[in-house]
Structure 1
Amino acid sequence: MRAIIPLVPRAKSDAERNLATFISRARGATTAFGAGLNFDADCWDVTDFYAQKGHGNSKHGTITIHFMQRLKDGGTPFCRQLIDFAKAYVRSQLANRSSSSFTYAITAFRALDTAIQECDISCLSDCDAAVFNRAAELIRRKSTVDDNGSAGSVLGVIARFLDEKGFVYAPLHNWSYPRTRKATSGRVGPEFERRRHAKMPDQAALDGLAQAFHLATDPRDILIASVSAILCSAPERINEVMVLSANCEVEQSGKDERVYLGLRWFGSKGASDHIKWILPGMADVVREALTRIRRITEPARIMARWYEQNPGKLYLPPDLEHLRGKKLLTLEEVWEIANLSPDKRIVRGWMQKAHIPFAHIDLNHPIRGWIQIHAARFADIERHIVDMLPPCFPMYDERRGMRYSEALLVIPEGLFGNRGSSAGNRCMFEVVKYHHVGCALGQNKRAGSTTVFQRVGIDPEGKLEMRSHQFRHWLNTMAQSASLSQLDIAKWSGRADIRHNRSYDHMTSEEIVTKIRDAVGDHAKAIGPLAEIPKNLPVTRAEFAAMAVPTAHVTLYGFCVHDFTTTPCEMFRRCLDCREHVCIKGLPDKTERIRQALEANRDSLAKARKAVAENAYGAEDWVTAHQAAVDRLEQLLTILTDRSVTDGAVVQLNSTSTYSLSEGALLDRLHLDGTGAEMLAGVETTKRLP
C-alpha cells in the first residue's frame, strides 16, 4: 500500500520555516536578559538585567516574566504552539524597553493562548484574523476595567509583527484591536462616582494622615508620614519620590522678598528633570518632612559611604568596632551585629537560613567545667552581610549618576521588618520599597498588614486606607477646580503630554455648576450672555445664577445648562447651535473637538458652494447654513485659543439663527398673527431667562 504524502502549500512551509528560524536565533544568538538565560524555563528572573540598566523596579523586588496563565486560571504554561514564539518575541523585541512593557505583552499572549486552543490551531503559522478576534474578546472579558486597551494594542502589534515577518500563512491585513468606546465620560451617575472614589483619596484618610504626621514616634511611621507629606505637596509619582537625592531642596528669593522652596525631581515617562516649587502653605511641612527623613536615613548613607571606600569589608558602628579584630563571635555578638532579637534560637535559625557554618568556643563553665558553645567566624558573617549589598553598588541610579550614599530614601536593612529593635540592621542598608509605602497606607490591608493609621492609634478598626497615586489625582483635580491652565497642570505634574490631564480630572458636576454660576454676571470670568445680568433684576446675583444655570452635564464640546426636568433637549444634540451650551477655556480635548467640527463645516461649505456653481436646487440654503456655522465656530475657537482669555473662562454662544422646537412654534404663531418681526427680539431676550 502506497504512503500518503500530504501536500503543504509553499507559503505555509515558508511561514513555518521563518518562524522556526526566528525562535532559534532568539534562543541561541540573542543575549538579551543575559547569555546564560534558561530559554526553556517557563518563568524568567530578569532582575539582574534591569538592575544593570538602573531600572527602579529592580530595587523594590524581583522582576519575573511568567509564560503561563494566571494562577486563578490554572497556572498552566502556554501551549506548545505559542510558548517558544512568546519567549522569542519578549527577548528580541521587549528586552531594551521598560520592565512594564512585557506586562501587557504577557496579557495579550494569555488571551492568544486560549484562543489558539479553542480554535484548535495546530501551528502558530495557521493563525488568522478569527483567532485574533477571539483573543480580543477574551481580553475584554477578563479585564477588570471596561476595556484593556493597552493589552489590546500590544495584541495588534504582535499580529502585525507575525504578518510583516512572514510567520503566518494567511495574511492578517494589518489587523488591529477593535477598541470599544464609551458613549460619554460624564460626571454624573454611579459609574463616575465609582471611578472618582477609586482615584481620589478619602477625606478621612487625608485627615488621618495629618494626625499621623504629628503622632508618629516609630521610625518607620515617621518615614511613611513624611513621604506622604511630600506627595501631598506636589503631584509626583511614587517612583519619582524614590529617587529623590538627599540634597533635593532648592531655595530662592522671590520679588516679594519671600524665600520659596523647590525640590529637584527626576522626570519619568518622557518628562525631563525639573525643579518643582512648593506652595508656600506646604513649604514648612515639606522642610520638616525632609528633616525627619534625613534623621532616620543618615545612618544608611554613612554605611553606603563606608562600603564605597572599603570594598569587601564589613561596616561596624563605633560601639561594635572592637569586634573587627576577633576571629570568632559569640551568638550574643552576632545578634548585636545583625540586630536580631536577643534569643540564641533566633540567631541559630538566622545562621542556618544564611548557610553560615557554626564554629565552637571552648568555655570553662563555673559549674559544668569545660564546655563548647556555638559561635560564628567573623569572616563568614562579614562575607554574608557584604554579599547583601544591592546590585550595581555603589550606583543607585546609573542614568542620573546618583550613588546610594547620595539617595534620600535609603534605610537600615530590616527597618520595616521584625527585628529586635525598630532601628533596623546596623551594618547593612536597603532602599525604601514600593510595598513599604503601600502596605503602610493600607493597600495590603486584606492580607493582614498593619497601617500607619493603626500603629499611631487613630484607626483601631483599620478602616482608613489610600494609595500613593491617589495624591496625584487629588492635587490635579484641585488644580482643575482652581482653573489652572492645562499647560501649567502638565508642567506641575511632570507630564510630557498635556492630553493626559483629563485622566486626572475628577471634578463633579456640582463643582462645574458652581464654577459656571460663579461666572454669571462677571465679565472677567464669562464671555457671552451669561456675563450680562439685566439691570434692576428683582433677585440677587446668586439667585439669578441658580436660575440661569440649574444644572450642567458633559457634552463633546463643553457643558449643557439646560434644565431637563422641564423639557427634553429640543436641539437634538446640536450643541454648537444652542444658547444653553457653554464652553470652558483650557480643556484641550473639547477645544480639539471644536476645531474638528470647524474643519468638517468648512468642508461641507466647500461642497455646498460647488453645488451652487453646478446650479443644484436648494444649494444656496446650505451655503447660508454652513457659512453661519463656520463663522460661529471660528469666533468660538478664536476665544478658546486667545491667550489673553484666562483658562477657566466660561464662554456662551450669543443669539443664533437656529431655534428650538418651542421657539420655532412660537415664532410661527407670531407670524400667523402678523407680529413675528416685532416680537423676534423679545423672544431672543426672554430665552436668556429660564
Structure 2
Amino acid sequence: MADIIHFQPKHEISAKQNLDSFIEHCKNTLTLYDDQGGWQSNNWQHKQKNRSIAMTFSKYRAKSNPANFDPLDEPFLSFAKAYIRYNQSIKAVSSVTNKMVALRMLHDALVAVHGIANVLKTDGLVIGELETITKQRVTNKDRRNKIGYQIEILLEFIRSKRTVPALQSWENPWPKVGAKAERTDEDSRKWQDTRCPSMHQMLALADCFSNAETLEDKYWSSVITLLMFAPGRAGELSELTVDCLHRGENGALGVRWYAEKGFGHTIKWVPESLEQTVIEAHSRLMEIGKPAREAAKYAYDHPNVFMRHAGCCTPDDFAENKPLNAYQFAHAMSFTEHSITSMKAKTSQFSSVTAWNMVGGKNTKWVQKLIASGEPTYEDLASFVASEYQTHDWPNLPSIQRPVWESLVLIRDREFHNDFDVREFSWRLPSVNELNAQLAIRDKLKNPPKTLFQRMDYKDEDGSDIRLTSHQIRVWLSTNAERGGMDAWQLARWAGRARINDNRHYDLRTQDEREQQARSILEFNERPTALEAIKLNLPVSYKDLGVNRIGIADVTEYGMCVHDYAMSPCTKGGECMTCKEHVCIKGMPETLERIIRLEEQVESQFNKATEDNADGVFGADRWVSHLGWKLAHIRTQRERLESEDTPEGAILWIPPEHDPSPVKRALEQNDLEINASDQDLVEESEVAMLLGIENA
C-alpha cells in the first residue's frame, strides 16, 4: 500500500511556494503508481478487483484513446498528477474518472481565459468559463451533476491548500437528478419498461441451471444462481469462499456474503424452496474450481517453483534451473496438441529457432520475453506464473482477508476456451464483463462468443436473443420484493445496501402497480385497522390499538409498542412479552413464528433452572419464579394467537394488573387517587393544537 502523508500548506509563504511544495510532496514522498512508471508516466491505472480504470493525463478529445493522446500542458500537468496521486493515496476510488474530467475542464478553462494552463491563475473568469465548458461537453444531467461535484471539490482543494487562497467559493449549480426508476419522462418510461427482466427471461435462467450439461454451462449457470436467491452484485461473487454456506440456529440456510459499497459482511438467507438449488450450485463450483484452487495453493506453498502437471513431458528429476527446449516448453505451458504436432512436423530440432518460432517465439510477446536470454527454465516459468496470476493483493482476495485459493468461483486461465487448452498451472477470478457476456451477446466484437442462452437454445418470447445484464437480476428481485410488500429496511438488508434510500433505484414496478397500491389505501371508507395498516406499510397510531393518546406505535419482533419519547426511557430491557405497553396482533406477519421460537428458548431456560433448583443450587429458585412468570405470559399470548376463537386482527394485551407501574403502586400505598378526575381532563383537540397537529 502507498505511504500516506497529508500535505499541510504554510500560511506565511506565497501561493506559488505552497503549490511547488505540494507538487514536490506528491512527487517525491508519495509512492502510489510507482510500479506503473511513477511520475514520468502520463497514463496510470487504478486497479479494482479484476478491472483497471485508466487515468490518462491528456487533453480533451471527443473520443479518447489511451494509446494516442496529447498530454496536458505544464505546469498544470504536474499539479494534475499531484492532485490525483494525493487523493488516491488517501482513498483510492473507482470514480477517479470524474476527477480526471474535472481536471481537463479546468485546464481548458485556464487556457481559454489566460492562454496558459497554470492553476495559480484560477479566478472568477476561469470559473465562469469552466461552467460554460461543462454545459457544452456534458449533456447528460446525471453525469453533469457528478462532474460538477468533482469540480466543486477541486476548487475547494485549490483554495484550502492555499494555492489560490482568495479564490471565491463555488457550489455545484447542477442539481442531483431523481432516480431513473422514479422519473416519468418518456425516455425514463422506456428505460423502465426494458430494465426489469420478464418472467420468461428469469425462468430461462432457471432452466439453464437445471439442464446444463457442459462444464462451461454448469459453471456460469451456477454463478448466476448465486445472484438469483437474493439481490447481489456480480463484483461481490469473487469474495464468496468455499465455506460460505451457513446453517442458522433455526436450520435455515444462509450464504456468508461480503457486500460492496460500504455494507460489508452479512449473511444472505436462502428461501427454503431454493435451498437445494443453492447447495447444488455450490457443489458444482467446488468441483469445477478445484484444479484452480490447487494451482494457487501450490504457488503459495512453493514460491519460485513451477507446478509440474499432467501435461509436462520432462522426467520427475528434471532440474528447475535446466533449460527447456521448445517441445518441453510447449507441454509445460499447455499448448494445444495441434500446435505441438505442427512443430514436430516442421522440425525435429526442438532447440532451433524454427521450433521456437512455431510456439510463439516470433510474434508472441510473452514468449519472446521468456526466451530473450536463452531457453527458459522451470524457474523462469514460475516467475512468469507469479507475474501473470499473482495480483497486488496476493495471496488474499481483493476485499477480504482470505486466501485466493478459498474462492468459490476461482477457475483456471482459458478454462472454457474453444481454441486453446486450459493452463493447468493457472488460476484467476472471473470478471463482471465475462459474466455479462454470458447473458447478452457482445455485438461490438467481430466474432462474439455464444451466450449461455444461445448455447442452450433459449430464445425470448418474440423469438429474438435473450439479452440481460447481471444487474438486471438484482433489479428483478428488488422489484418483486416491493410487489410482495417487503419493508424498506428488510429489503436494503436483503440486498446488501448500506442506504435504505437506494431501494428506489431498483423499484421498477409499473405505473399501474403503483397506482393500484395507492387505490388499495383509498378504497377504505373508514380508517384501516391496525392489521390492515401493517399490511399496507402504513403507520399504526396509538388510537388504532385502542390507546387514547396521540402518537405512532413502534414495531417490535412480536407486535407493537406504545412507549414513546415523551415518557422516561423504557426500563424493560427487551422483556416486551411481559410489558403492558406491548401488544400482539393476530395475523401480523412473522410474529407468531418468532413468539414460538421465544417460547422454546424460555422453556429450555426454565427447565434448566428447575433442575438446578432441585439440586439445591443457590439462587435457582428466584430464576424458576422469574422464568415461570415470563413463560406463562409468552405461552398465553401464543395460545391466544393460535386459537380459532381469536378473530384476525385482534389486539391482544396482557392485563395491566400483571405489570403495574411504580407510580401507581406508590399512589395506592399512600391511599391516593390513581384515576384522574373529570375536571382535570383536557380536550384532545387542545392537546393536538398545542402539539401543532392538525386533524389529529
TM range (shorter): 0.5 to 0.7
Measure how far apart 1:525 and its partner are: 9.9
Q: Which residue of 1 aligns with 2:28?
A: 28
- 2:305–2:379 contact (8 Å) kept in structure 1: no
Structure 1: gaps of 5 or more residues: 1-10, 48-56, 361-374, 533-582, 592-634, 648-690
Distance in structure 2 (CA, Å) of the matches to 1:433 and 1:237: 12
Cα distance 1:92–1:182, how it changes in 2: closer, same or farther (>3 A)?
closer
Match of 2:333 among 332, 338, 355: 338
- 1:485-564 matches, cutoff 5 A: 485-519=487-521, 526=528
1:95 corresponds, among 84, 89, 94, to 89
1:524–1:400 CA distance, 2 compared to 1 (3 A): farther
In the TM superposition, what is the alpha-carbon distance from 1:313 to its structure 2 partner?
Answer: 1.2
Residue of structure 1 aligned with 2:469, choices 467, 470, 473: 467
Q: Hey, what's the Cα distance between the residues in 2 that align with 1:65 and 1:637?
A: 58
CA contact (8 A) 1:485 1:586 kept: no
The corresponding residue for 1:357 is: 371
Structure 1 position 404 matched with structure 2 position 388: no
CA 1:445 to 1:285, structure 2 compared with 1: closer, same or farther past 3 Å?
A: farther
- CA-to-partner distance for each residue in 1:27-78, whole Å, 9 max, x for gaps? 223333338853132212454xxxxxxxxx2x41444321124653464322
Structure 2 match to 1:476: 478
- Assess if the C-alpha contact under 8 Å between 2:313 and 2:328 holds in 1: no
How many positions carry a matched residue from both structures?
Answer: 509
Structure 2: gaps spanning 5 or more residues? 1-10, 344-355, 541-547, 561-584, 590-696
Higher relative contact order (CA 8 A, sep 6+): 1
CA shift at 1:299, angstroms?
0.8
Distance 2:551 2:104 in 1: 49
Alignment of 1:115-126 (within 5 A): 115-122=109-116, 123-126=118-121
- 2:98 is matched with which residue: 101, 104, 113? 104
RMSD between aligned residues: 3.9
Give the secondary structure class of the aligned counterpart of 1:412.
coil
- Residues 233-632 of structure 1 mapped to structure 2, 5 A cutoff: 233-252=229-248, 254=250, 259-318=251-310, 320=312, 323-326=315-318, 327=322, 331=326, 333-342=328-337, 343-344=339-340, 348-351=358-361, 353=364, 354-355=367-368, 356-357=370-371, 377-392=377-392, 394-397=394-397, 400-421=400-421, 424-442=422-440, 444-448=442-446, 449-450=448-449, 451-459=451-459, 463-519=465-521, 526=528, 585=537
Q: Distance in 1 between matches of 2:164 and 2:44?
A: 27
AA aligned opposite 1:89 = Y
Contact kept, 8 Å, 1:46 with 1:63, in 2: the verdict is yes
Partners of 2:36 and 2:44 within 8 A in 1:
no
Contact 2:196 2:472 in 1 (8 A): yes
Report how far residue 498 of structure 1 moved: 1.5
Equivalent position amino acid for 2:205 in 1: L
Letter paired with 1:282: L
Aligned mates of 1:376, 1:30 — CA distance in 2? 37
- What residue is the counterpart of 1:190 in the other structure? 186
CA distance in 2, matches of 1:36, 1:297: 31
Asked if the contact 2:335–2:420 (Cα under 8 Å) also holds between the matched residues in 1, the reply is yes
CA shift in 2, pair 1:36/1:408, >3 Å: closer
Higher mean Cα deviation, 323-332 or 476-485? 323-332
Aligned-partner residue type, residue 271 of structure 1: F
Give CA deviations for 1:544-577 in whole Å, capped at 9, x if unaligned.
xxxxxxxxxxxxxxxxxxxxxxxxxxxxxxxxxx
Do the aligned partners of residues 153 and 411 (structure 1) sit closer, same or farther apart at CA in structure 2, a change above 3 Å counting?
same
- Report which stretch shifted further, 479-488 or 319-328: 319-328
Aligned residues of 1:212 and 1:456 also touching (Cα < 8 A): yes
Q: CA deviation at 1:418?
A: 4.7
Q: Which residue does the alignment assign to 2:645?
A: none
Preserved CA contact (<8 Å) 2:179 2:505: no
Write out per-residue CA displacement over residues 262-313 of structure 1, whole angstroms, 9 at most, x where no aligned residue: 0001132221311110112222221121111111101111112222222221
1:331-354: CA deviation from partner (whole Å, max 9, x where unpaired): 555444333222146883445532
Cα offset for 1:328? 6.1
SS in 2 for 1:274: strand
Closer, same or farther: CA 45–358 of 1 in aligned 2, 3 Å? closer
State whether residues 126 and 170 of structure 1, in contact with CA within 8 Å, keep that contact through their aligned partners in structure 2.
no
CA distance in 2, matches of 1:335, 1:144: 53
Pick the aligned partner of 2:148 from 143, 148, 152: 152
Aligned with residue 162 of structure 2, among 155, 166, 169: 166
Q: How far, CA to CA, are the matches of 1:275 and 1:340 in structure 2?
A: 42
CA contact (8 A) 1:264 1:275 kept: yes
Equivalent residue, structure 2, for 1:72: 62
Q: Give the SS at the match of 2:246.
A: strand
Question: So what's the TM-score if we normalise by structure 1?
Answer: 0.65
Give me the TM-score of the superposition, normalised by structure 2. 0.65
2:393, 2:89 → 1: CA distance?
Answer: 22
Deviation of 1:443 after TM superposition, in Å, equals 6.7
Alignment CA distance shift 1:384-1:84 (3 Å): closer
Contact in 1 for aligned 2:300/2:395 (Cα 8 Å) = no
Deviation of 1:404 (Å)? 1.5
Query: How far did residue 204 of structure 1 move?
Result: 4.8
- Residues of 2 paired with 1:141 and 1:147: CA distance? 14
Please report how far the alpha carbon of residue 320 of structure 1 lies from its aligned counterpart in structure 2 after TM superposition.
4.4
Counterpart Cα distance in 2 of 1:66 and 1:315: 38
- Tell me the secondary structure at the aligned position of residue 44 of structure 1: strand
Q: Is the 8 A contact 2:492 2:500 kept in 1?
A: yes
- Are the equivalent residues in 2 in contact too, given 1:235–1:493 (CA < 8 A)? yes
Q: Which amino acid aligns with 1:438?
A: N
**Matched residue, 1:569:** none
C-alpha spacing 1:86/1:334, structure 2 compared with 1 (3 Å): same
Tell me if the contact between 2:142 and 2:177 (Cα under 8 Å) persists in the aligned partners.
Answer: no
Helix, strand or coil at the partner of 2:62: helix
SS in 2 for 1:266: strand
**Could you say which residue in structure 1 is the equivalent of 2:15?**
15
Does the CA-based 8 Å contact 2:326-2:359 persist in structure 1? no
How far apart in 2 are the matches of 1:586 and 1:140?
43
- CA shift digits 1:87-146 (9 cap, x unpaired): 111111222313314222112112223323333453322222443344345445444632
- CA distance in 2 between counterparts of 1:199 and 1:437 reads 18
2:179 and 2:423 map into 1 onto residues whose CA distance is 54
1:568 corresponds in structure 2 to: none
